[in-house]
Structure 1
Amino acid sequence: MAVEPGHLGYPLAVAERAGSTRAAEARHISQPAISQQIRQLERAAPAQPLDRSGRPARPTGAGVGHIHYAHRALPDLAAGVRAPGPARTPGARPGPP
């Protein structure tokens, strides 16, 4: 399974808000939905990003790295979606100019 952009933000939200319930509220989704997305990431990633055995969930060593990169990647992804460019030009082909 491939990691999708949405997967990046969910462990970040859980870590920042000290739990999946608060993270789900902040993301305007249900708690089971955020847990499902994190489980999908855990299956795709080589290491678990969160230790969910206690309360609140805490980032693992790998999760700290994941959060670092998510902080960097998510704003860039959002900017790329908003930016005008060849991909938004009718008839344009994806790829280098």
Structure 2
Amino acid sequence: MESSSFLNIDEQPISIGQAVKYLQNSGKLGQFIGDILRQYVIEKELQTREDIAISPALTEQAIIDFRLKNQLTDPKSFQEWLQNNGKDYDSFHASVALGF
């Protein structure tokens, strides 16, 4: 069975199994799994509940407020911030929407 690369550090692949071992050794595996489960449950619940609708306008306003508060109104500086934080616009947008 071929090992799947989870991420690369100094051009060296780190497998998912090795990443799990690192999390386990650092005592953070439980928290990591808990975070994944929490996100999974929230997403599933949002998909099944018709009485919960996240307004696109509310999400966009929250993003605008975030950018103003953090002085990221310039598109270039916002893009740099996204890259420095390992995000793209779609993942940032999704995280803001899930924050409601």
Q: TM-score, normalised by structure 1?
A: 0.33
The structure with the greater share of residues assigned to strand is 2
Q: TM-score, normalised by structure 2?
A: 0.32
Bigger radius of gyration, 1 or 2? 2
